[in-house]
A = this chain, B = another copy of it.
């Protein structure tokens, strides 16, 4: 069998990501991936032992793209503003890429022990947030221990993750919010995070 003129494994990943980005992870099937690539339904299994494996591969890619997005702003001298910018980027990503966001955070993920690359990419995104907090603390002349940094990172991540989830899901319709509340909620929540941490 000649080396194919394309790497089918990478093509499967790209196609799976396109399906998820277009229609959501619920529509991801290996048979549809195969159909779109013009190969037999079993061909993707030559590269991925199971559906979970291709899922883990695209989750890892999604986390990597997410982390790049979080890190998109150049670092400034103002650690508070950097942290706020990261928070905005988080919400922007969730809004711009709702289906990818749900892939990462709204889907039972494959077992992390079997997919270390996926785990590493997810950790990277969280680590950016922890780094932002460390720089902020240093700029204020503080030296919190690692656990305190992580706890505040969890606080922030919880707020952002929760709000992104509310924005992205049908919960928005469900809650029957008064006019303007939805649009105002990102700035408000970010402001409250600032209140909590002390400006």
Q: In the complex where A155-B188, A181-B151, A184-B147 touch, is A165 in contact with B109 (Cβ < 8 A)?
A: no
- B154, A189: Cβ atoms under 8 Å? yes
CB closest chain-B residue, reference A113:
B173
CB closest chain-B residue, reference A176:
B123
- Of the candidate stretches A14-22, A30-38, A156-164, the one touching chain B is A156-164
**Residues of the B chain whose Cβ atoms lie less than 8 Å from the Cβ of A118:** 174
Chain A 129-166 per-residue mask, 1 if CB under 8 angstroms from chain B, else 0? 00000000000000000110011101101111111011
Chain A contact residue count (CB 8 A cutoff): 51
- Of the candidate stretches A2-10, A42-50, A77-85, A191-199, the one touching chain B is A191-199
Residue of B119, B176, B177, B193 touching A174 (CB-CB under 8 A): B119
Complex Cα–Cα for A22 and B16 (A): 30
Complex Cα–Cα for A171 and B125 (A): 12
Most chain B beta-carbon neighbours within 10 Å: one of A112, A118, A123: A112
CB closest chain-B residue, reference A177:
B150
Is residue A74 contacting chain B, with contact meaning CB distance below 8 A?
Answer: no
Q: How far is the CB of A156 from chain B (nearest CB, A)?
A: 9
- A150, B166: Cβ atoms under 8 Å? no
Complex Cα–Cα for A42 and B139 (A): 65
Residue of B112, B162, B165, B178 touching A146 (CB-CB under 8 A): B178
**Residues of the B chain whose Cβ atoms lie less than 8 Å from the Cβ of A192:** 152, 155, 196-197
Is residue A93 contacting chain B, with contact meaning CB distance below 8 A?
Answer: no
Residue of B24, B166, B197, B198 touching A108 (CB-CB under 8 A): B24
- B154, A109: Cβ atoms under 8 Å? no
